[in-house]
Amino acid sequence: MTTEIVREADQDGIVTAAAARLTVLIAEAIAQRGRARVVLTGGGAGIGLLAALREARIEWPKVELYWGDERFVAGDDGDRNELQAREALLAHVPVVEDQVHAMPADDGVFAGDVDGAARRYAELVEQVDAFDVHLLGMGGEGHINSIFPHSPAVAEQAATAVPVRDCPKPPPTRITLTLPMVRRARQVWLLVAGGAKAEAAAAAVGGADAADVPAAGAVGTEKTVWFLDDAAAGSM
């Protein structure tokens, strides 16, 4: 496994660079395996990346989409990463709905049942041998997906998806893929912008304990790529 740092001037630069490389990665995966499996993320850079892919030449019917985490709210709640992704990209490209694997919402069958919702998503992702790329943002304290420092989720060593309660950022109830699941991806990409994240980024790249800085535990089986703007790279 190799680690690469891609440094750009600002978040727009990160988005542009990641979009170009993701277009190539998806094409290579389709050529080699007949399909590409991508785990999406939210946040400013993550949603910006999706918007940048609207005009990309991608064989969308051969792309399977998953999410690394989700806010456990109603399906039409604007806080959902899925809804933001649909508005940014999925409503504009010919994806196959059966290949868009959103996490369950807090309504319908799983209303009030975050444990059941997490189990259902775990059953789904456990059928995947490997993702081609797992996209991630990172918080200022080093959290990725909804895996926060010194939380039950960061300590999880077996389950692939777990419920998260009392999240330090609202909304408090979520579902997240775990570090063992993140590490099944061939490539893990972290899109990080802003000086407030510089210390955590440096610690993660430097090999910090994942319990302290969860991003340190996010590594791909083949490659880990950090897309950093100048501010986020300032402590390296």
pLDDT at 62: 98
Determine the Cα–Cα distance for residues 140 and 199; give it in Å rounded to an integer. 8
pLDDT at 206 over 90: yes
pLDDT at 1 over 90: no
pLDDT in tens, 135-153: 999 999 999 999 999 999 9
pLDDT band at 15 (very low <50, low <70, confident <90, very high): very high
pLDDT band at 236 (very low <50, low <70, confident <90, very high): confident
Query: CA–CA distance from 76 to each of 39, 86, 106, 189 (Å)?
Result: 21, 11, 10, 28
Please state the rounded mean pLDDT for residues 14-21.
Answer: 98
pLDDT at 181: 98
pLDDT at 166: 92
pLDDT at 164 over 90: yes
Q: Provide the b/e sequence for 69-90 (b: ≥16 CB within 10 Å).
A: bbbbbeeeeeebbbbbbbebbb
Q: Is the dihedral of CA 53, 58, 59, 63 positive or negative?
A: negative
What does DSSP assign to residue 103?
Answer: P
Q: What is the pTM of this model?
A: 0.97
The CATH architecture that domain 11-189 belongs to is 3-Layer(aba) Sandwich (3.40)
Please state the rounded mean pLDDT for residues 42-71.
Answer: 97
Residue spans of the domains in the chain: they are 11-189
Determine the Cα–Cα distance for residues 177 and 186; give it in Å rounded to an integer. 16
pLDDT at 235: 85
pLDDT band at 54 (very low <50, low <70, confident <90, very high): very high
What count of other Cβ atoms lies within 10 Å of the Cβ of residue 180? Answer: 13
pLDDT band at 170 (very low <50, low <70, confident <90, very high): very high
pLDDT at 82: 97
pLDDT at 61 over 90: yes
The rounded mean pLDDT for the chain is 97
